[in-house]
Structure 1
Amino acid sequence: MPQTDDAIVVSIVEDHPLFRAALSRVVEGLPGFRLGPVAGSVEEFLAHRLPSGAVVLLDLHLPGRQGAAAALAIAEAGHRPLVISAQAAQSDVLAVLAAGARGYLPKSADADEVGTALRQVAHGETYVSASLAAALLDRSRPRQAGPRLALTPREHEVLALLAEGERDIDIAESLTISVRTVRSHLDRIREKTGRRRRSELTRLAIGEGIIRRPLRTA
């Protein structure tokens, strides 16, 4: 399928040849995307020295670096890891998101869901499959028994909406406040948490269990 020069590059890091080939076909069939390097390990992918900014479909069980370490290596190289794995324990989901992954898909996801996730991650949002969102947002564990951040109730609301992928203008409309007020709240949140980027604030909100509703899904 013809691709434009500004197509989003999608790479694949997966050690199973058949599944790697299937993902490659899915990506090649998506308008606006271009298949980048395909590798069987993180080390092999990094050896390609791909310019930063690619979305990387990443398996967790790989030779060499795997799991959260694999997601961290991809993120530190300037790319956007989108994990696609058969293992979906809550601890695994939280660990890879905290390490820099922008989303998490089960290997049972169909081509339409993979495309949806790629588009959202390419546009700076976080994607977690509906089949995993409930486990991700389970607040029954002791470490999520209550907020540990010194945020006001309004700041919690703003942070929760930001973590769900909402833009400043969407947050303003949802809370019936001005965009300027939203940005003032975000400035105070950044001062209190020391987190500057929206992706960092998203991971913080997930780790603290303060997201109001499941992350965007198909």
Structure 2
Amino acid sequence: MAVDPSSPIRVLVVDDHPVVRRGLAALIATLPGFAVAGEAVDGETAVKDAQLTRPDVVVMDLAMPGIGGLEAVRRITAGTPSVAVLVLTMHEDDETVRAALQAGARGYLLKGAEQEAIESALRAVVAGQTVMAAGVAARLLQAPAVPAGPAFPELTAREHEVLEGLARGWSNATVAASLALSSKTVSNHISSVFTKLGVATRSEAIVLAHRRGLGAEGP
């Protein structure tokens, strides 16, 4: 996602608990380079406000009345794909985490995260990266067994390189620069990777890549 560096990162805060919502909005308003685009109290309002205000990122609680956070994430990412979604919730069970990633969330943090972690996650998801709370990521990326043989033989060499970049948390622009490719070409390769691996979101591809040992080295 291209964000004008001279403009603040606009954040829509979604939580049905007024104290939590207002506190988070107040916190974001104090962060340099950020602005609060609005507040929503439920999933339906969040979807509507995302379409109307087109924020750079939505901070989404999951346990809310109405359609709920997961369905709101699906509708926002489908209807306004330029808007990143960062889940901020109390739920850390693997099933809920996977459901949020499958719905299109780019980040997953737990309530109680430090200010620095929230700010870093907001900047990361807007830049096209995927972030998860450390404890959540550690569990989610564990696999009982890794099949023998090379990882993802169905991918071409170039697609494998692109997936490796995604697994390291790189944005499309960083992958393109590292491989001397255009952003459009990288996007095409990512679409092909998703199809071949049977995944629907960037987060799912990253989790699968980590399970097969990709992304072990830092950028």
Q: Which TM bucket (shorter chain)?
A: 0.7 to 0.9
Question: Which residue in the other structure is 1:47 paired with?
Answer: 48
- Equivalent runs, 1:19-168 vs 2, <5 Å: 19-48=20-49, 49-78=51-80, 79-140=83-144, 150-152=154-156, 155-167=159-171
CA distance in 2, matches of 1:120, 1:212: 20
Query: Identical aligned pairs, as a percentage?
Result: 31
Cα offset, 1:33, TM superposition: 1.1
CA distance in 2, matches of 1:181, 1:211: 26
Contact 2:175 2:186 in 1 (8 A): no
CA offsets, 1:188-215, max 9 Å, x none?
A: 56446448xxx9444334256446348x
Taking structure 2 as the reference length, the TM-score comes to 0.76
Cα offset, 1:58, TM superposition: 0.4
CA distance in 1, matches of 2:48, 2:171: 35
Contact 2:128 2:172 in 1 (8 A): no
Gap change, CA 1:179 and 1:108, over 3 Å in 2: same
Which letter maps to 2:96? D
Which letter maps to 1:69? E
State the Cα RMSD in Å.
3.5
CA offsets, 1:175-200, max 9 Å, x none?
A: xxx524999787556446448xxx94
Gap change, CA 1:201 and 1:17, over 3 Å in 2: closer
Cα offset, 1:73, TM superposition: 1.7
Taking structure 1 as the reference length, the TM-score comes to 0.76
CA distance in 2, matches of 1:96, 1:77: 16
Contact 1:12 1:57 in 2 (8 A): yes
Contact 2:37 2:53 in 1 (8 A): no
Which segments of 5 or more consecutive residues in structure 2 lack a partner in the other structure?
none
Cα offset, 1:12, TM superposition: 0.8
CA distance in 1, matches of 2:38, 2:97: 25
CA distance in 2, matches of 1:168, 1:91: 28
Cα offset, 1:139, TM superposition: 1.5
Which segments of 5 or more consecutive residues in structure 1 lack a partner in the other structure?
none
CA distance in 1, matches of 2:96, 2:118: 19
Contact 1:54 1:80 in 2 (8 A): yes
